[in-house]
Amino acid sequence: MSNKHPGRLWLAADWHLWHERMVELCYRPKDFSLRIIENIVEVVEPGDTFLNLGDISIGSRGMKEAIGTLEFLREKQVRTVLVRGNHDSQSQHWYLNHGWTWACDGLLMEYGGQKIWFSHEPVVSNACPECSGMPRDIYLNIHGHLHNSLHRGSALNDGRHILIASEHLDYRPILLDKVLQIGRTPAYRHGRFEALVP
């Protein structure tokens, strides 16, 4: 009998590794980049999948640290998927050659009987699919980009969008199952997590 678990799906967004202005813009602690990397190393296990919803780094130091983290994940046999953000300007081919298992601009997943659209920026589901990038029948959009309400304004509050801002998750990756669980409780209000119970 094998002790190997079937693998878990970890989510994160907006690392912005070594982007020093994030301390000022989003009130991050000065050591936020180290926290992000240490928290990933602490929780991932072989067979897991790690899905990053974009904006992995700013500048060469941040990219070097991101690539080092990806090497660690690859050694642990963790699949890594990047949904490119507005600061991820390299080609998909470039990301595949620098440690990612897959890179794309949006990802549709059917999970637990519901369709989930993963994106960097929130997409509006009621608009025409050609304009919004999200089909009408999508149940939920899990996204990054908005950081915290003091930075870019509050996220959408329609019950169909969940913002997984690093600032609200203590710079830790979060399991998809946990996102869906918290997203249905009073801890999640106005399109963002206000309190995270580990």
Please report whether residue 13 resides in a domain: yes
pLDDT value of position 31: 94
- Is residue 195 in some structural domain? no
Q: Which residues contact 111 (CB under 8 A, 6 or more apart)?
A: 176
Q: Looking at the domain assignment, is residue 77 inside a domain?
A: yes
- Residue ranges making up the domain that contains 178: 9-185
Q: How many CA atoms within 13 Å lie on the side-chain side of 186?
A: 0
Residue 194 lies in a domain: no
158 lies in a domain?
yes
Does residue 45 have a pLDDT over 90? yes
78 lies in a domain?
Answer: yes
Q: What pLDDT shows up at residue 157?
A: 61
Say how many domains are in the chain. 1
pTM: 0.84
Q: For 71-130, how does the pLDDT look when each residue is reduced to its tens digit (9 = 90+)?
A: 999 999 999 999 999 999 999 999 999 999 999 999 999 988 888 999 999 886 544 444
> What's the rounded Cα separation, in Å, for the pair 185 and 173?
19
Closest CA to 145 of 171, 120, 119, 116: 120
Structural domain includes residue 3: no
Instruction: Read off the pLDDT band of 198 (50, 70, 90).
Output: very low
Domain of 84, CATH number, reads: 3.60.21.10
**Given pLDDT bands bounded at 50, 70 and 90, which one contains residue 156?**
low
3-class DSSP state of 98:
coil
pLDDT band at 60 (very low <50, low <70, confident <90, very high): confident
Over residues 179-196, mean pLDDT: 67
Measured distance CA(158)–CA(84) in Å, rounded? 24
Separation of first and last alpha carbons in the chain: 30
